[in-house]
Amino acid sequence: MTKIGIIGGSGLDNPDILQDAHDVEVETVYGSPSSPLKEGTIAGKEVAILARHGREHTIPPTYVNYRANIMALKGAGCDVILATTACGSLREEIKRGDLVILDQFIDFTRLRQVSFHERFEPNCAVHTGMADPFDEGLRSKLNAACDALDIAHHKVGTVITIEGSRFSTRAESNMFRLWGADVINMSVAPECILANEAGLPYAAVAMSTDYDCWKTDEAPVTWEEILEVFHGNVEKVVSLLIETIKALD
């Protein structure tokens, strides 16, 4: 039976949802992950939940140990990863509270470890294919669950990942739109890259919380706005993940 790793997953640790919950402390060859793993079962399926930024949100995006996080889930026996993330919308039609089932990314980070391979063995170069970085089987199940729950969502979307923790300048935001990005966040690209390197199918659902700063008819994004929209819509992300977990074999 598939064991599911969940990165993010705010609200899933509710004891009414996560059965037989217990913490598992993990160390990896890449150091400590962002949090202990909260393991248990949801809908009869084994899950391991990891808080990307720590349980008290103390780790800025650039300083998350993404390699340790992925290795912690792999070492715990997870077969797939479902990730959740807040994002800014770069498209008028992606409204606050909408969900986006990501299918592509643009990696605009520059300060992070984005590979497990710091050197190659002699004559054994490793180059991971990344044409379609998000697992299509998992994406299909997420989209089907959104349809079943009648959740406003977008079946595809390209995310651009920036360093943070600052938000974009208006020039950057407009440039990202011209590049074809639909949403913007600070975490998905290195996480997705590393999951692919580790051989773990990975999919991410992004919740739109704001319009970044490209829209001149409203104020630029603030952290307070992100929190307000996220907490106002987190229950539908929880419902989506539960419905998707039920569909996994």
Q: Which residues are catalytic?
A: 210, 212
86 is in an annotated binding site: yes
Is 187 assigned to a binding site? yes
115 assigned ligand-binding residue: no
Element of type H or E holding 24: strand 19-24
Amino acid at the residue 151: I
23 is in an annotated binding site: no
186 is in an annotated binding site: yes
Question: Is 85 assigned to a binding site?
Answer: yes
Q: How far is CA 66 from CA 8, 32, 247, in A?
A: 13, 10, 27
Strand, helix or coil for residue 2: coil
Reported as type and span, the H/E element at residue 40 is strand 37-42
Q: Which of 130, 206, 196, 203 is nearest to 161 (CA)?
A: 206
- 41 appears as a binding residue in the annotation: no
Residue 211 annotated as binding? yes
Helix (H, G, I), strand (E, B) or coil at 45: strand
Which residue positions form the known binding site for substrate?
186, 210-212
Binding residues: 10, 52-53, 85-86, 186-187, 210-212
Which amino acids are annotated as binding site for phosphate, given as ranges? 10, 52-53, 85-86, 187
